[in-house]
Structure 1
Amino acid sequence: MPSRENKSHKELMSEVKAHHQSSLPFVVFKYPHKRELKAILQSDTKLNYTTDFKHPGFVFSPFDDTQETILMSPDKYITAKLDTGIFRKDNNVPDYPVDGKEAVRYKKMVGEAVKEIQNTDLNKVVLSRSMEVATEKSAIEIFNELILEYPSAFCYCWYHPRVGCWIGATPEILLQVKGNRFTTVALAGTIEKSGDKKPNWTEKEKEEQQLVTLYIEEAMAGLGIEVKSSEVQTTDAGTLWHLKTTITGVVKVDQTARMIRTLHPTPAVCGIPLKEAMSYIRKHEAYKRKFYTGYLGEIEVEPQQATRLFVNLRCMELREAKAIIYVGGGITQDSDPLKEWQETIAKSRTILKVL
């Protein structure tokens, strides 16, 4: 049985740091709007995998759904009350120069995708890119600033010596199951915040969000699951606005694994139709997303089975003194290449702000 301890914020971080220095796997995370930190420590460097999502621990899955889902074994659980007073919040956002070559490349890629959508059965494709920046901050320092900066996001720092270190603050639920109830969201459409002004949504963003909602409703119907969808809401995530529909329902016994496989990847991170969009991404993105737009989260089995998974957005991979930041956007027939480029710049600020 794993050990369970309750410690102070500082003590938890100190233990996680020591685990990291010993090159042992760990994940430390915080749920949206919660004032509690959780850490799961694994005592060996074995890579464990899951397909049935019935074992306790923390799952980390890549975008490519043909690859295996990693399960971090919970040899030790630590919880701590969040103490926002003990860490410095750095509000200086460095002015990172725009990569002119990358701007030209990405806008050209978007323009070609728009033509493809206008002339084929492809309705939407999500195109992403990575950017590399130098940082002197440690993984723990970056995570501590993320939880202060983005209290409404799922914030995490995940490390395995055989895989690497990933850190993020994601606004998007993939699937939450507790007892026989489940929740998922259709999150799409993005506008950068401008002062106190509410966003003025265009048909492009509304259509993009509607495509995701319809896909999820149809996918659940295909599993024989009835759902209830909320009205479309405007929700904020850090410096960005999004459109969101919350979808709920009753899940049957042993359906969680099937639901996860059906939902991932969603049109919000891949496109519609899914098969054609995935094929287009593999052919045109020209880099490997790895765990960006995959999913991650905790599986609990006591006192009852509970699964809480999030889409891995607004994230970075930390390699020595550099951060690889991953950003992207949904392309439809109405997409403007310049605006899509600017959207990726806006999304990158979530992570740049804490580097």
Structure 2
Amino acid sequence: MSGKKHNYAILKKTKGNILVGVGPFKELAECPHTGVAFYKNNFALDELRPWKVPQEVFELSASDFAQFEKPNFAWDTLEPEGFTGVFSEINQAIQRGTFEKSVPVATEIGRLVSGDMLGLLRDLHLAGDNIYSYAWVEGDEGFCGYTPELLFHLRKGRFKTMALAGTARSDEHSIFAFDEKEIREHEYVAQTLVASLADLGMVKRSERRIMDLGSLLHFHTPLDIFMYGDYGIDFLLRKMHPTPALGPLPRTPKTLKLLHEWRDRLNAPAHFGAPFGLYEHGEFHAVVTIRGAYWKGNTLLIPSGCGVIEASRLTNEWRELGLKRKAVKANFGL
């Protein structure tokens, strides 16, 4: 791969192989009917031409980004005051009945000291089971990461998605299975997804499981929908995003507006938690862009989010946010 090109889209598919699209990309407002296109949008879903048709597509290999030196960063201290204020506002809104749940974000900032930002892409091919590696690079900015969250997979009328919510350290496996607060948070997400998808088709909910990602544990419930009819991919993306795991509950214009305001105040990158997908000859696969790094120039942002419900406690949520950012850094060898 030529190091002179800095326009890439990368996504690991459900079958395990990782596709790379090389730009310049043709940009479309709607999903094409044939061929290959990546879907890249921000959290607000207000980009006018989110479909990106690549000039070239191939499978990612170990050598593709090996020439880029791994980056090193100097990290700013992340103070808790901003998050503490938002957490308090969410609690007050829950007490008023505006929300049952919302998802604030804390963002750590790093400054490039040595190496190359594209060195963050060097190990994307190593993404293990239950992990989808992803990346978007456009000039001197982009994002990449290793997300465990599938937004949905669509093929021939069969729609697969998941509820992913509830977090603990890997050494808490035995007690995590009985954690009432984490189970309640997960059930908010799972039950809301089932209810919202029931109009699309017959929903099959599997048992709640524990997903072990090495450093972190999550509750995970697979969902399968056998669809009643044909639905456009753009429609399904807007129906699914933000999922209850990343968005407010209930999801209304008022609660979404508050969530966007809180994200802006806490410096959440515009694409954090947004859908990133791949259309390939009639099949579509999209992930939720969490557990990632977002950069522009020499500045790197590592955000993390947490689900806040009535039972949430500030100290525990702040600790969870730190655990998630620590896992992201470990994924990138930082």
Q: Does 1:249 align with 2:225?
A: yes
Q: Deviations over 1:12-64 (max 9, x none)?
A: xx33x3312xxxx2113334683x442111236x6x13334645211111110
Q: Provide the rounded CA distance (Å) in 1 between the counterparts of 2:38 and 2:241.
A: 17
8 A Cα contact 2:68 2:115, kept in partner: no
Q: Does 1:280 align with 2:258?
A: yes
- Name the structure 1 match of 2:53: 73
Secondary structure of the equivalent of 1:126? coil
- Name the structure 2 match of 1:3: none
Q: Which runs of 5+ in 2 are unaligned?
A: none
Q: Which runs of 5+ in 1 are unaligned?
A: 1-13
Instruction: Report 1:22-61 matches (<5 A).
Output: 25-31=7-13, 34=16, 36-43=17-24, 48-52=27-31, 54=33, 56-61=36-41
- Name the structure 2 match of 1:10: none
Q: Quick one: which of 263, 270, 277 aligns to 1:297?
A: 277
- Name the structure 1 match of 2:5: 19
Q: Deviations over 1:83-129 (max 9, x none)?
A: 79x89999xx9996753xx2132123213312321232410001012
Q: Provide the rounded CA distance (Å) in 1 between the counterparts of 2:259 and 2:60.
A: 41
Instruction: Report 1:1-355 matches (<5 A).
Output: 14-15=1-2, 17-20=3-6, 25-31=7-13, 34=16, 36-43=17-24, 48-52=27-31, 54=33, 56-68=36-48, 70-82=50-62, 98-99=77-78, 102-135=79-112, 136-148=114-126, 152-161=130-139, 164-194=141-171, 199-223=176-200, 225-251=201-227, 252-275=229-252, 276-285=254-263, 286=265, 287=267, 289-301=269-281, 305-353=282-330, 354=332, 355=334
Offset, 1:173: 0.5
Quote the sequence identity (%): 20
Name the CA shift for 1:31/1:75 in 2 (closer, same or farther; >3 Å). Answer: same
Offset, 1:327: 1.0
How many residue pairs match? The answer is 324
Q: Provide the rounded CA distance (Å) in 2 between the counterparts of 1:71 and 1:88.
A: 28
Aligned AA (1:338): T
Compute the RMSD of aligned alpha carbons: 3.0
Aligned AA (2:8): F
Q: Provide the rounded CA distance (Å) in 2 between the counterparts of 1:96 and 1:66.
A: 31
Name the CA shift for 1:288/1:160 in 2 (closer, same or farther; >3 Å). Answer: same
Name the CA shift for 1:50/1:30 in 2 (closer, same or farther; >3 Å). Answer: same
Aligned AA (1:246): P
- Name the structure 2 match of 1:7: none
Offset, 1:226: 1.3
Q: Provide the rounded CA distance (Å) in 1 between the counterparts of 2:186 and 2:221.
A: 8
In the superposition, the TM-score normalised over structure 1's length comes to 0.81
In the superposition, the TM-score normalised over structure 2's length comes to 0.86
Name the CA shift for 1:192/1:53 in 2 (closer, same or farther; >3 Å). Answer: farther
Q: Provide the rounded CA distance (Å) in 1 between the counterparts of 2:295 and 2:222.
A: 32
Name the CA shift for 1:54/1:185 in 2 (closer, same or farther; >3 Å). Answer: farther
Q: Provide the rounded CA distance (Å) in 1 between the counterparts of 2:197 and 2:75.
A: 43
Aligned AA (1:185): M
Would you identify which runs of 4 or more consecutive aligned residues in structure 1 move more than 6 Å?
A: 86-90
Q: Provide the rounded CA distance (Å) in 1 between the counterparts of 2:28 and 2:178.
A: 41
Q: Provide the rounded CA distance (Å) in 2 between the counterparts of 1:195 and 1:221.
A: 34
